[in-house]
Amino acid sequence: MSIPFWQIIAKGVKQSSTNLSYDYEVFSADNSSKKELQNTIKAIKAKPAGIVISPTNSSNCVTVLKLIKKANIPVVIADIGTDAGEYLSYISSDNFEGAYKLGKHLTKFMKQKDITESSVGIIAIPQKRANGKLRTAGFMKALKEDGIKSADMRQQVDFSLKETYLHAKDLLLAYPDMKVIWLQGSDKYRGALKAIKESKREVHLITFDAEPEFLELIPKNTIVVSGMQQPFLIGEKAVITLDKYLSKEDVQKHIELSVLAVTKENIDRKMHLIKRNVLGIIDEAK
């Protein structure tokens, strides 16, 4: 589990499991559909009280849900949704609205910089994922409302630093008028910044999600705005939802959490939420 976002969801699962006196085990698919199926079978054989899953993509989730249903185990989906299938509850971020707000912050910034005639390049998470589609749609709505062009999109496959660097470099070479790159994730932001620096152009970076370093980079405008999901809270609520079901309480079919649009102007006001719910830094957030 190399991507910090999933590590923080796991911390939220651990927090709620410990508080509610459940044992827990974490399996990582490492973005492999084959390994995801293997992990699902292992989890089912362990006969747990419930399963929390964040699938590799929304189409593969359908198969996983069929296996879990056959075993008669309640399942909560966290973050990445499914194309079909039965589940107890789905805990997600409001990806459409979060990306829309991110886009509106960006267009405001571009107006202030007088660069609205330029374009915005996108390095996206896989668009086979339901959350990826929603992020793109919300962001594009904001750009369209303010008459700003999208340069092009490159989709991540292996989520490596090299891949992000090459995508950013490719966009910079192909679109000399581009002034902004939107990275639909956060942990490989260094790849995008490296490509921007090498281009010797004034190109701005915005992201979805956050890393601890962003607490320093956002105030400097190195990252202009970040749409921060709340992965610790997603993990917490997933286990709490399972516990409610096991306690014969009603549960919501879909719980949608807000995405924080963080800029240098508001980062101090949102710091408590960022440390706890975004970065999973519990002790400092108290």
The CA R_g of the chain, rounded to the nearest whole Å, is 19
- Confidence check: pLDDT of 209 > 50: yes
Mean pLDDT (the chain) is: 94
- The pLDDT value recorded for residue 130 is 81
Token pair, residue 113, equals: 């910089």
Each residue's pLDDT tens digit, 132-171: 899 999 999 999 999 999 999 999 998 899 999 999 999 9
- Confidence check: pLDDT of 284 > 80: no
Better-scored residue on pLDDT, 16 or 31: 16
SS3 content of the chain, % helix, strand, coil (to 5): 45, 15, 35
Domains in the chain, start-ordered, CATH in brackets?
Answer: 4-94+230-258 (3.40.50.2300), 95-228 (3.40.50.2300)
pTM of the model: 0.88
Each residue's pLDDT tens digit, 51-110: 999 988 888 899 999 999 999 999 999 988 889 999 999 999 999 999 999 999 999 999
* CA atoms of 23 and 18, how far apart (whole Å): 7
Each residue's pLDDT tens digit, 246-276: 999 999 999 999 999 999 999 999 999 999 9
